[in-house]
Amino acid sequence: MKSDHNPVLEAALKIKLLLVDDEPEFLETLEKHLRRRKINTSVAEGCKVALDILEEQAIDVIVMDVSMPEIDGLQCLKKVKEKWPLIEVVILTGHASVKSGIEGMQGGAFDYCIKPIETQELVEKIELAGQKALINKQKADAES
């Protein structure tokens, strides 16, 4: 008696994901890994580019670094949540601190992860965030 069918994984395939980081090499590697798992992934080198993409594309989940020049991840999170509250944001940082972790969560992040992270673990987090984004949408539709 196995549970082969997994609606969460299937839902993950429909997620539109945006990766935001200031390191192009990191973006490229992660994008490759996620595309291999058939997750529909876009990338943005920094917050400004990310905000431009959000104006044009429907995104469900964002995976974002904290320390970025110009606009840091926590500020960027605030901007995203103000304008697109249904999007779920997973923070992925190389410089963890309890303070920034809690600030991120208070700012509405779905999760706060620390680099280095196994791709599988990140994918699971993206799936959960995607499912939450889907519920956000359904709830918003029901309320409207």
Partner 1 sequence: MTNSLLGRIKSLLGFSTVPQLSLEELQRLFTEKYCNFRELLTANNNALEAMAQMENALHDGRAFSMAFIRSNATVISVNIYKMIQCLVTMADGRYGMLEERFADIQQQLDNIINHDVIKVEGRWFLPLHEATRELVDLAGEKMANLGEAGSLAGIRIPPGFVVTGSATRYFFQQNNLYPAINRIFQQTDPSNMEDLHERSNEVQSLIKRAPLPIDLEKQLYNQFDQLVQKSKTPVKLAVRSSALGEDTRQASFAGLYHTELHVDRDDLIYSYKSVLSSTYSSRAMIYRLTKGFIHEETIMCVGCLAMIDAVMSGVCYSQSISGRPGAMDIFFSAGSAKGIVDGTKDTQHYLVERSAPYGTIHQTAESSPADARLMDEWARDIATAAMILENHFGTPQDIEWSINKEGLLYILQSRPISVAGKKERDQVGKRAVNEHCLLQGEVTGCAGTASGPVFVVRSNLDVLRIPKHSVLVVEHPLPQWAPLLRKATALVAETGSEAGHLATIAREFGVPAILSAKGATKLVNGQIVTIDATNQTIYKGRVEALLQHDQPKNNPMDGSPVQKAMIDALQLISPLHLTDPTSPYFRSSCCQSLHDITRFCHEKSVVEMFDFGKRYTFKKGAAKRLVDNMPLEWWVINLADGFIEGFDSGSNYINISEIISTPMLAIWEGMHAYGWAGPPQASVRGMGSLFFQSTRQPGIDPAVPSAMVQKNYFLVSRNYCNLSVRLGYHYAMVEAYISSLRTERYVTFRFKGGAADERKRVGRVELLAAVLEHYDFRIEKAGDALTARVEKRSQAFLFNRLKILGYLTIHTRQIDMVMDAPGQYKRYLDKFLLDIEEMIANEK
Residue from 13, 97, 137, 140 touching partner 1 (CB under 8 A): that is 97
- The backbone torsions φ and ψ at residue 67, rounded to the nearest 5 degrees and listed phi first, read -85, 105
Which residue has 């995607």 as its token pair?
130
Residue 56 or 143: the one with the smaller Cβ distance to partner 1 is 143
Asked whether the CA dihedral 18, 21, 22, 27 is positive or negative, the reply is: negative
Which residue has 């995104």 as its token pair?
59
Residue 89 or 128: the one with the smaller Cβ distance to partner 1 is 128
Q: Write down the H helix ranges in 57-118.
A: 73-83, 98-106
Quick check: 105 binds partner 1 (CB under 8 A)?
Answer: yes
The interface region with partner 1, picked from 39-47, 53-61, 76-84, 95-103 by CB under 8 A, is 95-103
Distance CA 115, CA 37 (A): 20
Quick check: 69 binds partner 1 (CB under 8 A)?
Answer: no
- How many residues touch partner 1 under the rule CB under 8 A: the total is 33
Residue 5 or 36: the one with the smaller Cβ distance to partner 1 is 5
